[in-house]
Amino acid sequence: MRIGITCYPTYGGSGVVATELGIELAALGHEVHFISYSQPFRLNGRSDGIFYHEVPVSNYPLFEFPPYDLALASRMAEVAEFYDLDLLHVHYAIPHSVSALLARQMLEARGRRLPFVTTLHGTDITLVGLDRSYLPITRHAIQESDGVTSISNYLKEKTIADFGVQRPIEVITNFVNCDVYTPVADDAERARMRGHLAAPGEAVLMHLSNFRPVKRVLDVVKIFASVVRELPAQLVLIGDGPDRSAAEWLAHDLGIHTRIHFLGKQERVNELLPLADLLLMPSQLESFGLAALEGMACKVPSIATRVGGVPELVDDGLTGLLFEPGEVDLMARGCLELLSDRPRLNRMREAARQEARKRFCASLVVPRYIRYYEEVSKRGERAGLTQA
Ligand code: GMT
């Protein structure tokens, strides 16, 4: 198939999922066209069967707010026509599904068919989408999409309850490439690689996010402060965003900054994650929690929160430990219990990888997207909307 993909190309879970999906689809022989305002950051260096189309947004002095959604709709329609796309897949409803709806209408008027699938990721439903200024148009675009998928059951139920959406929503969970996200097989090699981050015998805790308030990065620092009082450890923070500076200040105030590595945005997190003993994800809300899955695939259990779709991913006590948001002391105690009981931690590490392989590998999940695309396309054909 020839598939157009639109996502936020910057650091963020929905962009990561969209990009990895495009890469997997291209590897399976499909032609993938990314349409966005800049190149998705994980695309670098992998281009077979993948094309990127930038959306130029001109800023006329009259426009206090440049209308990106309109420029995107125009580009979507152009790319679909020039490259004969079979389908558009937009990630994150706002404004992508609205732009796709416009592009579909533009092409319909020219006798062409362009079905589109909207994938709901999280804050497009739980936060931004609920804002009264976006709710009616977001609901309309979801309702009008040719197909809608959600990354967890939690998010599907939330969309039905909060948006009153009355159409089928297919749950297709996030996924990870289990051959790219792997543990380091050799213990000696892993110890050597950890040498850059920690001394022998020190624990390594990791956190990976876009440092937005919903991620509660300050809790990560506080949890680590309690852990490091009891045993030697290092904390590795991957990512960047609004709360980074506050986290740096807190680390200095608590006198633990020399044990914390702020690595900023990293392209190859698959090379860092396997070096961790535990992943910290104390988020206020996660519709899925992609970072936890990437950790699991690398044999890293999570200390996470029992929110949103996380319990659909992390099995409390088996592949990680779950707590309520803000339970910093309990999370620290959970870390200490696992780090001082290596046999239990090792069982959890094995279980985490097994669970990722059993339920969330790209090889299992990506075919579900392809089947869904085919189903959506056929539905349109049955309705008499044939490709020009
Ligand atoms: O919060 C983020 O990390 C970004 C956000 C997004 O939509 O870009 O993430 C959401 O989508 C991710 C990928 O599907 C999920 O793993 C995250 O749980 C979800 N974030 C929230 O629900 C807060």
Q: Are residues 77 and 161 in the same domain?
A: yes
Alpha-carbon gap, residue 250 to 221, rounded angstroms = 7
Q: Take residue 240 and report the two structure tokens written for it.
A: 């960047």
Q: Does some domain include residue 182?
A: no
Residue recorded with tokens 């200390």 = 303
Phi, psi of 276 (to 5 degrees): -85, 155
Q: Are residues 336 and 382 in the same domain?
A: no
Protein residue whose Cα sits closest to atom 7 of ligand 1 = 14
Q: Are residues 272 and 312 in the same domain?
A: yes
Which of 121, 152, 174 to probe ligand 1 with, by most ligand atoms within 8 A of CB?
121
Q: Are residues 122 and 261 in the same domain?
A: no
Q: Does some domain include residue 180?
A: no
Q: Are residues 89 and 62 in the same domain?
A: yes
pLDDT reading at 387 higher than 70:
no
Q: Take residue 251 and report the two structure tokens written for it.
A: 């680390």
CA–chain centroid gap for 227, Å, is 28
DSSP count for the chain of H helices, then E strands: 15, 13
Q: Does some domain include residue 203?
A: yes
SS3 per-residue string spanning 296-348: HHCCCCEEEECCCCHHHHCCECCCEEEECCCCHHHHHHHHHHHHCCHHHHHHH
Q: Take residue 202 and report the two structure tokens written for it.
A: 């020190």
- For ligand 1, whether the C-beta of 214 sits within 6 Å is yes
Alpha-carbon gap, residue 203 to 359, rounded angstroms = 28
pLDDT tens sequence across 3-14: 999 999 986 899
Question: What pTM, to 2 d.p., does this model score?
Answer: 0.94
Q: Are residues 315 and 201 in the same domain?
A: yes
- For ligand 1, whether the C-beta of 241 sits within 6 Å is no
> 375 is in which domain, residue-wise?
2-175+362-387
Q: Which amino acid is at 112?
A: R
pLDDT reading at 379 higher than 90:
no
Q: Are residues 204 and 312 in the same domain?
A: yes
Distance 289 CA to ligand 1 centre (A): 7
pLDDT reading at 129 higher than 90:
no
Q: Residue 81 — very low, low, confident or very high, per pLDDT cuts 50/70/90?
A: very high
pLDDT of residue 384: 55
Query: What 8-state DSSP symbol labels residue 96?
Result: H
Alpha-carbon gap, residue 285 to 158, rounded angstroms = 13
Q: 328-339 and 217-230 helices cross at what angle (nearest 10)? A: 50
Mean pLDDT of the chain: 94
Q: Are residues 345 and 368 in the same domain?
A: no
Alpha-carbon gap, residue 378 to 334, rounded angstroms = 50
Q: Does some domain include residue 274?
A: yes
Q: What is the mean pLDDT of residues 129-148?
A: 91
pLDDT tens sequence across 356-367: 999 999 999 999
Distance 288 CA to ligand 1 centre (A): 7
- Asked if 339 and 277 touch (Cβ cutoff 8 Å), the reply is yes
DSSP-based three-state secondary structure for 173: coil
Q: Are residues 147 and 291 in the same domain?
A: no
Protein residue whose Cα sits closest to atom 13 of ligand 1 = 13
Q: Are residues 35 and 168 in the same domain?
A: yes
Comparing CA positions, the residue from 307, 207, 194, 224 lying closest to residue 266 is 207
pLDDT of residue 267: 84
Q: Does some domain include residue 45?
A: yes
Comparing CA positions, the residue from 170, 217, 205, 186 lying closest to residue 368 is 170
Q: What's the CATH number where 71 sits? A: 3.40.50.2000
Which of 5, 212, 286 to probe ligand 1 with, by most ligand atoms within 8 A of CB?
286
Alpha-carbon gap, residue 284 to 73, rounded angstroms = 33
Q: Does some domain include residue 17?
A: yes
Q: What is the mean pLDDT of residues 254-262?
A: 97
pLDDT reading at 388 higher than 60:
no
pLDDT reading at 110 higher than 80:
yes
3-state SS of the chain: helix, strand, coil percent to 5? 45, 15, 35
